[in-house]
Amino acid sequence: MSVELSPPEISYLGEDDADFFQNVDGRILNTLNPRYMLPVDRDEVKRSELHHRLLQFVFGGKNYIGPVKEALQFGEHRRILDLGTGGGFWAIDMADNFPRAEVIGIDLAPIQPRLRAVPPNCTFELCDLDQWNIPYPDNHFDFIHARSVHCGIHNYPQLLREITRLLRPGGLVLLIEPNLTPLVDGKSAGDSSSDSGLRGWLTLWETYRACLTRKGIDVTVPECLGNHLMATKSFERVMVQDGNIPVGFWPSDPHLLTVGQLQWMDYELFLPALRPLFLSFGMPQSTVHRIIADAQQDLYHPSVPLSARLHIVYASKRY
């Protein structure tokens, strides 16, 4: 099977990988899971890198928050799993940080760098986390990380049960999900009816949430991460941390300004990436074009400061 891939994507692909990609409305999408309709192409890999750098800033230069070193300090063979690894940036950095640990990144699409660009203790596997059991034995991993992946998971509690099975007792899980409702002037913005001057921005997020809901995705997962994890009754020392991420160039603090710039660049790539999802619901091209263009207008010229909310949970599996 051949798919039309523009030259930049080809550098990411092995010879046998074409079956995992399809061209939909000018963007490359995965073929394993039709529910996940964000692209898996070069722009999306770039966005995954921006997201990774942003979180490194948020975590003070580290790739994680929580007692990761403790979880990885004992034993000969330590194992780390990254679910929905995207471009594999987190997995590669973790493999460099912990050269004696084995790091595995799993994704729907083979968009991670190939052998020579990857440390020897890092590998990537294809798997649809939403359909299949993750193909590793019980108690196999010391640390499991799942970041910005819930939009491709229709049964998030089931994914948490799989994570529980895969973690060894005492092992650590770190879940990070951005909220799907934006913040306007520091406050949660429910819908586009309020006269905030950001109607385009709010309409786009409202449309995104509606499309995901119709695809069977629970859009409240990010704000309920801690509750979902506690419902498994398998974790202790559950830490829930929520934070606001500035979007754009308004912060005066230089650290926050960098975070705001990175989030702005992420969103600049994210808005056009929603096109295939919106079109898949039969919306006319002109409507989709207008929703995205109006949101871009608000991103480029916001009338009030924009932010996003990030939800972070980490916990240890009970002995």
Ligand X SMILES: C[S@@+](CC[C@H](N)C(=O)[O-])C[C@H]1O[C@@H](n2cnc3c(N)ncnc32)[C@H](O)[C@@H]1O
Give the residue nearest to ligand X (CB).
152
DSSP string, 206-227: HHHHHHHHHTT--TTTGGGHHH
Mapping DSSP to helix (H, G, I), strand (E, B) and coil, where does residue 77 land? Answer: coil
What's the token pair of residue 294? Answer: 């109006």
Q: Give least dist CB 124 to ligand X, A.
A: 11
Q: Which residues bind ligand X (CB under 6 A)?
A: 30, 33, 36, 40, 48, 51-52, 84-86, 107-109, 128-130, 147-149, 152-153
Report the b/e string of 134-146 with b at 16+ CB within 10 A: bebeeebbbbbbb
C-beta pairs of 159-162 under 8 Å, 24+ apart in sequence: 159/83, 159/129, 159/130, 160/228, 160/229, 160/231, 160/232, 161/232, 162/129, 162/133, 162/134
Q: Give least dist CB 37 to ligand X, A.
A: 10
Closest CB to ligand X among 25 and 128? 128
Q: Give least dist CB 150 to ligand X, A.
A: 8
Written as one letter, the residue type at 220 is T
Q: Give least dist CB 151 to ligand X, A.
A: 7
Do residues 82 and 91 make contact, with C-beta atoms less than 8 angstroms apart?
yes
Closest CB to ligand X among 40 and 292? 40
Q: Give least dist CB 103 to ligand X, A.
A: 13
Do residues 247 and 308 make contact, with C-beta atoms less than 8 angstroms apart?
yes
Closest CB to ligand X among 48 and 192? 48
Closest CB to ligand X among 147 and 228? 147
Closest CB to ligand X among 128 and 218? 128
